[in-house]
Amino acid sequence: MSELITFSEEQSMLLDTAMDFCVTQSPISKVRSQLEVEDGFDKAEWQSMVDLGWLGITIPESHGGLGLGLADVVPISESMGRQLMGSPFLATTLASQALINGGSEEQKGQWLPKIATGSVATLALFEEEGNWDLKDLSAVGTEDNGEIRLSGKKTFVMDAMSADLIIASVLVDNEPRLVCIDKKLIPNDQIAREVVIDDTRRCYEINLDGIVVSDVSVLPDDCFFAVESAALLLFSAEMAGGIASTLNEIVEYLNTRKQFERYIGSYQALKHPAVDILLGLEATRSLVYHAATIFGSGSDQEVESALRMAKAAASEHFAFAGDRAVQFHGGFGFTFDCNAQLFLRRAMWCQYSFGDEKHQRQKLAPLLLD
């Protein structure tokens, strides 16, 4: 039987370092100042992450990384979620997981050292239909004399304009495959900024029509399960951090706002939902760190079950926390000046990324009951 939860010395050190870094580098005032910046992140802050070795945590030592596991990235994602930090860290880490799990030695040698030293990478997995099945694709790659001619559109591509590498999912010979695309091959007018609910994110639609890559750009191994697993783990960790900070926003307001000469936190109608949020936070963190514990060591079924439970809990509890935060702030909560709505927006974005709680539970049923 797999261990329930372990928290290694490396994870503890990373959590302390990440919490201190994110609190210092990403106060809410800076988060707001970055909302109007085109790429949505601070270049100096990104370089600091590179210097700390965060981009290379899971990259093998032979390619300039630290050679640790994805579980060691979880404390960083959680800390970033607490501060609503906007950066290409999530997108780049997921793209590196695609290369690590499915790339050829040539592809790894070309891109992983660059990622470890600060190159931005991202994944283009979703399409206009909004299907969460990563293998149900419309985009196509047609083989032609050693080249792959691409067509179709990809949506919700995080940090595409900042990326040096875009790994896109397309059908090649009617089989879903991942293809490395050097960003230089994509004309700027084929990358369009999308309006999404979370203003701290930068998402783009990419038109692949007319783009041609070498056939050696196709990742040799089918690693969709590994990519989805990594995404579920890191998104869940980020949401756990978001729940914690949303609860802090709530508690601070309940202890400062007075109504009828009483702090509103003294009313049971507000106390009880706050306690529910705390319980949801503890449940989410437990599920996240259980999934991190068995990630890479448990069976596929154990890992998938743990990840889907974590994502379902995180999606539900973060959305509830964000909604209550806005409601508790009254009319002010619905204004752009209230920080609560920033957390609600992040919650809603993360909730539907790679499948909401209903989707996760539908996938969980056969894993747990069959």
Backbone angles phi, psi at 178, to 5 degrees: -105, 135
- Measured CA to CA in angstroms, residue 264 lies from 12, 255, 295 at distances of 36, 7, 43
How far, in Å, CA of 149 to CA of 139, rounded?
11
pLDDT at 260: 82
User: By percentage, how much of the chain surpasses pLDDT 70?
Assistant: 99
What's the chain's length in residues? 370
- Give this prediction's pTM: 0.95
pLDDT at position 1 over 70 = no
- Over residues 9-67, the pLDDT tens digits come to 878 888 899 999 999 999 999 999 999 888 888 899 999 999 999 999 999 999 999 99
- DSSP letter at 356 equals -
With vertex at residue 192, the alpha carbon angle to CA 197 and CA 138, rounded to the nearest 5 degrees, is 90
Nearest by Cα to 141 from 205, 223, 219: 219
The residue with tokens 């990563």 is 134
How far, in Å, CA of 155 to CA of 127, rounded?
5
- Over residues 103-133, the pLDDT tens digits come to 999 999 999 999 999 999 999 999 998 899 9
DSSP codes joined into one string, 35-70: TTSSS-S-HHHHHHHHHHTGGGSSS-GGGTS----G
- DSSP letter at 194 equals P
- Helix intervals (H) in the chain: 9-25, 28-34, 43-52, 74-83, 89-102, 105-116, 224-254, 268-294, 300-328, 339-352, 357-369
Q: Do the bridges between strand 165-172 and strand 140-144 make them parallel or antiparallel, or are there none, so unpaired?
A: parallel
pLDDT at 14: 86
Cα diameter, the chain:
78
User: By percentage, how much of the chain surpasses pLDDT 90?
Assistant: 82
Amino acid at 143: E
- Over residues 163-199, the pLDDT tens digits come to 999 999 999 999 999 999 999 999 999 999 999 999 9
Q: Walk me through the domains of the chain, giving residue ranges and CATH numbers.
A: 9-119 (1.10.540.10), 122-217 (2.40.110.10), 224-369 (1.20.140.10)
